[in-house]
Structure 1
């Protein structure tokens, strides 16, 4: 009986942690908005998802992305021949800094 409870608890834990990523509707929203400023908050996007979203906003040559202290993904990218610092907030908005 204890083994069944442990297995059930482990399954619930795995399911809840996997579902946590999809709790942010912005992760599922395919539209990309550009903003002047990024919003602070826990970012549910993985680096790969952030990279894809930045690319969808028209940026190329996206460099390494890192999360800053506000949960915003940041890195260098190119748009219209210019290298800029781009950022992606938890809402899925892309901005240039």
Structure 2
């Protein structure tokens, strides 16, 4: 076979062959701990990590968990939002982690 044709066929097959080195897309599974969208905590303690919630979003998430009068909202060095809030007439310290878990201080 002519060297030019062989080279052309080899180059063409390399360009059109599927790439097996690609990673498959991420799956949406219940045990994916990166985001808690179920409305239920997946941890009884705040989980440290890079938190992308804005202050307004953090306040809303805490309120959605049944708390009111959210004050003193600050993000700590572990990426956990911490605040004072009321629930059932009792004021308590609460936390919101990057996974969306809202926990009362114990």
Higher helix fraction (1 or 2): 1
Quote the residue 2:89 is aligned against: 81
Structure 2 unaligned blocks of 5 or more: 1-33
Quote the residue 1:33 is aligned against: 40
Query: Is the 1:36–1:96 Cα contact (8 Å) retained in structure 2?
Result: no
The answer to whether residue 60 in structure 2 is matched with residue 52 in structure 1 is yes
Query: Is the 1:32–1:94 Cα contact (8 Å) retained in structure 2?
Result: no
Distance 2:44 2:89 in 1: 20
User: What TM-score results when the alignment is normalised by the length of structure 2?
Assistant: 0.61
The answer to whether residue 100 in structure 2 is matched with residue 96 in structure 1 is no
Please say which structure displays the higher CA radius of gyration: 2
- Tell me the matched-pair count: 71
After superposing on structure 2, the runs of 4+ consecutive aligned residues of structure 1 that deviate more than 6 Å are none
What do you get for the CA RMSD once the two structures are aligned?
1.7
Structure 1 unaligned blocks of 5 or more: 1-24
